[in-house]
């Protein structure tokens, strides 16, 4: 029980509400607004270069004196599987033809994993954000210790018990229990192992198996849209909640107008589904042609992450630029399964609403 109370103290925040880090959507303004309202703001920097990450962290530090988290991807680095890449490109060709275009022939590593980026680690140690979090895995214990010695609090997304045990063994301070309802990429460490637990089941599992013994605070993520949802998860044993989809529509987010409108337009029947075809890792998005035209039985295996994303982004951009011409939507509008409960509020108003609903 003492652990539950401690999350706000550990993080130095007023309310147990965390903004999810969202690569491509996070901005210093969004992070600082949430932190200034008493939650934990965040920057999703998994797709950023060291230079971009540096300017985002410095800009956020200028906008708030309160704590915020920076977030990186820790997938196992791999080389491209040339044969799989070639088959995947051939498979997607007919879709590109429809847009009078063709897919790129060489798929490249569009992002580095934090595990292979010592300069990014140096940057974090130099700028000392209050909190760092990891998605798709955790760095080695030596790196976690280095960060903690600098006074940085460490968090990691986990989706199942074995990942939670690994994170705890490496010294991670706080677990983000990401349920299958979550928008965007699943934080699974290995794409081979995904029990697809719901947020509630995962929180209950982690709470019963390691919450009490290990004294690791558990933050729930996935499908959380209101203060009542947060309260329910806290009653189940979570110490707080991390929300992504609810904040994407905020004016402070970097999501495109088209993306924001798609989310807000889903109030009646927002349907989402997980696909690995966009990036090479499973991620939940609003239903699009990725689900209905690419994820069909018999499709070849994709060439892995992040190589699949190289051609996925190409198709996404192409389709977005020609949306008025073609009805086919190849957008990757990441959204959680409770998107239909999204509200049209700026970040500060959304925070005030969540705080009011929680109490
Ligand atoms: C647009 C979008 C981008 C995301 N990008 C990241 C990311 O860069 N790093 C990360 O740890 N999680 C990322 N996530 C997942 C969130 O951390 C979180 O698990 C999820 O948003 C929770 O579910 P919800 O969207 O239903 O609130 C992203 C989620 C969304 C919606």
Residue 284 in any domain: the answer is no
pLDDT at 212: 64
Phi, psi of 102, rounded to the nearest 5 degrees: -140, 150
- Band (pLDDT 50/70/90 cuts) for residue 320 is confident
Residue 119 in any domain: the answer is yes
pLDDT at 1: 44
| Closest-lying ligand 1 atom to the alpha carbon of residue 47 | 8
Evaluate: CB of 334 within 6 angstroms of ligand 1. yes
- Band (pLDDT 50/70/90 cuts) for residue 6 is confident
CATH for 247: 3.20.20.70
pLDDT at 172: 97
Alpha-carbon gap, residue 352 to 37, rounded angstroms = 8
pLDDT digits (tens, 9 = 90+) for 253-268: 999 998 999 999 865 5
Counting ligand 1 atoms within 8 A of each CB, the residue from 184, 250, 273, 279 with the most, and so the one to mutate, is 184
Evaluate: CB of 184 within 6 angstroms of ligand 1. yes
pLDDT digits (tens, 9 = 90+) for 266-283: 655 689 999 999 999 999
Counting ligand 1 atoms within 8 A of each CB, the residue from 17, 18, 19, 20 with the most, and so the one to mutate, is 20
Number of domains observed in the structure of the chain: 1
Residue nearest to atom 13 of ligand 1 (CA): 22
Q: Write down the residue that tokens 């959204």 correspond to.
A: 335
Counting ligand 1 atoms within 8 A of each CB, the residue from 182, 227, 247, 249 with the most, and so the one to mutate, is 182
pLDDT digits (tens, 9 = 90+) for 162-175: 999 999 999 999 99
Burial class of 186 by CB neighbour count within 10 A (0 to 12, 13 to 18, 19+)? buried
pLDDT at 270: 82
Q: Write down the residue that tokens 């905020």 correspond to.
A: 250
- Band (pLDDT 50/70/90 cuts) for residue 2 is very low
Tokens of 157: 């997304």
Contacts of 240 (CB under 8 A, 6+ apart): 7, 8, 16, 17, 18, 217, 219, 220, 230, 234
303 SS3 class: coil
Angle at 232 between CA 230 and CA 238, to 5 degrees: 70
Indicate the helix (H) or strand (E) that contains 6: helix 2-11
Q: Write down the residue that tokens 């901005």 correspond to.
A: 27
Tokens of 131: 């909190």
Angle at 118 between CA 113 and CA 121, to 5 degrees: 90
pLDDT at 148: 98
pLDDT digits (tens, 9 = 90+) for 32-54: 999 999 999 999 999 999 999 99
Alpha-carbon gap, residue 303 to 79, rounded angstroms = 10
For residue 157, count other CB atoms closer than 10 A to its CB. 30
For residue 29, count other CB atoms closer than 10 A to its CB. 19
Ligand 1 centroid distance, CA of 333 (Å): 12
Residue 288 in any domain: the answer is no
- Band (pLDDT 50/70/90 cuts) for residue 241 is very high
Q: Write down the residue that tokens 């010695």 correspond to.
A: 149
Residue 29 in any domain: the answer is yes
Residue 323 in any domain: the answer is no
pLDDT digits (tens, 9 = 90+) for 95-104: 999 889 999 9
Angle of the 307-321 helix axis to the 82-98 helix axis, nearest 10: 10
Residue 55 in any domain: the answer is yes
Evaluate: CB of 103 within 6 angstroms of ligand 1. no
**Nearest-10 Cα torsion for 102, 316, 108, 23:** 170
Evaluate: CB of 136 within 6 angstroms of ligand 1. no
- Band (pLDDT 50/70/90 cuts) for residue 214 is low
pLDDT digits (tens, 9 = 90+) for 79-129: 999 999 999 999 999 999 988 999 999 999 999 999 999 999 999 999 999
Report the pLDDT averaged over residues 218-238. 97
Angle at 276 between CA 193 and CA 238, to 5 degrees: 55
The yes-or-no verdict on residue 213 having pLDDT over 90 is: no
Peptide bond into 276 cis (omega under 30): no
Angle at 280 between CA 277 and CA 282, to 5 degrees: 75
Share of the chain above pLDDT 90, in %: 90
Query: What's the distance, CA 214 to chain centroid?
Result: 25
Q: Which domain holds residue 354?
A: 2-77+112-258+341-358
Alpha-carbon gap, residue 19 to 246, rounded angstroms = 9
CB 21 within 8 A of CB 43: yes
pLDDT digits (tens, 9 = 90+) for 50-76: 999 999 999 999 999 999 999 999 999
Evaluate: CB of 44 within 6 angstroms of ligand 1. yes
pLDDT at 4: 47
pLDDT at 42: 98
The yes-or-no verdict on residue 19 having pLDDT over 50 is: yes
pLDDT at 323: 66
Share of the chain above pLDDT 70, in %: 95
Evaluate: CB of 178 within 6 angstroms of ligand 1. yes
Ligand 1 centroid distance, CA of 292 (Å): 23
Give the residue among 136, 175, 149 at the shortest CA–CA distance from 283. 136
Residue 300 in any domain: the answer is no
Alpha-carbon gap, residue 308 to 337, rounded angstroms = 24
For residue 139, count other CB atoms closer than 10 A to its CB. 23
Evaluate: CB of 283 within 6 angstroms of ligand 1. no
pLDDT at 266: 65
The yes-or-no verdict on residue 146 having pLDDT over 80 is: yes
Residue 87 in any domain: the answer is no
């Amino acid at each position: 029980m003492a652990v539950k109370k401690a999350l706000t103290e550990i993080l130095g925040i007023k309310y147990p509400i965390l903004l999810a880090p969202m690569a491509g959507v996070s901005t210093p303004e969004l992070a600082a607004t949430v932190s200034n309202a008493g939650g934990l703001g965040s920057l999703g920097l998994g797709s950023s270069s060291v230079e971009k990450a540096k300017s985002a962290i410095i800009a956020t530090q200028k906008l708030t004196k309160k704590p915020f988290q920076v977030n990186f991807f820790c997938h196992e680095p791999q080389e491209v599987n040339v044969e799989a890449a070639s088959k995947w490109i051939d498979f997607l060709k007919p879709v590109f033809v429809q847009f009078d275009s063709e897919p790129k022939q060489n798929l490249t590593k569009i992002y580095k994993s934090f595990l292979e980026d010592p300069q990014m680690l140096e940057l974090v140690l130099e700028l000392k954000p209050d909190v760092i979090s990891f998605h798709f895995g955790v760095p080695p214990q030596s790196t976690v210790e280095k960060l903690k010695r600098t006074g940085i609090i460490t968090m990691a997304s986990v989706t199942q018990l074995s990942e939670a045990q690994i994170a705890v063994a490496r010294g991670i301070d706080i677990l983000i229990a990401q349920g299958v309802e979550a928008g965007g990429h699943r934080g699974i460490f290995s794409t081979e192992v995904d029990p697809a637990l719901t947020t509630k089941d995962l929180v209950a599992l982690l709470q019963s198996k390691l919450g009490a013994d290990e004294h690791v605070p558990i933050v729930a993520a996935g499908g959380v849209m209101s203060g009542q949802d947060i309260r329910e998860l806290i009653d189940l044993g979570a110490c707080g909640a991390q929300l992504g989809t609810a904040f994407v529509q905020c004016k402070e987010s970097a999501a495109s107008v088209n993306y924001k409108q798609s989310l807000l337009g889903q109030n009646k029947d927002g349907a989402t589904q997980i696909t690995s075809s966009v990036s090479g890792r499973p991620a939940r998005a609003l239903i699009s042609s990725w689900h209905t035209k690419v994820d069909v039985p018999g499709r070849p295996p994709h060439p892995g992450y992040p190589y699949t994303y190289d051609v996925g982004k190409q198709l996404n951009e192409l389709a977005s630029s020609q949306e008025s011409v073609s009805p086919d939507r190849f957008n990757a509008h990441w959204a959680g399964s409770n998107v239909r409960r999204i509200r049209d509020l700026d970040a500060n108003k959304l925070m005030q609403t969540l705080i009011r609903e929680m109490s």
